[in-house]
């Protein structure tokens, strides 16, 4: 997938980002560096898809996964991607920081 994110065809790069959040896609830990790379893509579409993918993955994190990511945030080469995941998980403004996602409206 890392190689596909370097392809000259933005359609291939976009499809690769989309494939990172399919049901049987890679684990979050494997997706973070790939989505971090996609955040820096020259195509606004690829960058937008990466943002959406991180938001979706973040909403699906368990409390333990979120805590582990937060504990190692500054050590992560994909710090921006991890921050996006955690923002989606904690749903800033919900008052649930530290307790998981906000309840559905």
More confident residue, 3 or 79: 3
More confident residue, 49 or 74: 49
Q: Which are the contacts of 85, defined by CB distance < 8 A and separation ≥ 6? A: 28, 32, 54, 57, 58, 61, 66, 69
**7-25 pLDDT, tens per residue?**
999 999 999 999 988 878 8
CB 81 within 8 A of CB 36: yes
Is the entire prediction scored with pTM above 0.85? Answer: no
pLDDT at 46: 96
Q: Which tokens is 13 given?
A: 């790069």
pLDDT at 95: 36
Task: Calculate the alpha carbon distances from 38 to 6, 8, 33, 45 in Å.
Answer: 9, 13, 9, 10
């Amino acid at each position: 997938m890392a190689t596909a994110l370097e392809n000259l065809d933005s359609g291939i790069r976009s499809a690769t980002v989309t494939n990172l959040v399919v049901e049987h896609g890679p684990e979050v830990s494997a997706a973070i560096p790939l989505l971090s790379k996609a955040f820096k893509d020259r195509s606004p579409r690829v960058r937008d898809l990466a943002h959406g993918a991180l938001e979706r993955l973040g909403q699906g994190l368990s409390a333990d996964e979120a805590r582990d990511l937060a504990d190692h945030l500054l050590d992560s080469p994909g710090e921006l991607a991890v921050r996006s995941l955690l923002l989606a998980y904690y749903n800033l403004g919900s008052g649930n920081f530290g307790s998981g996602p906000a309840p559905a409206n």
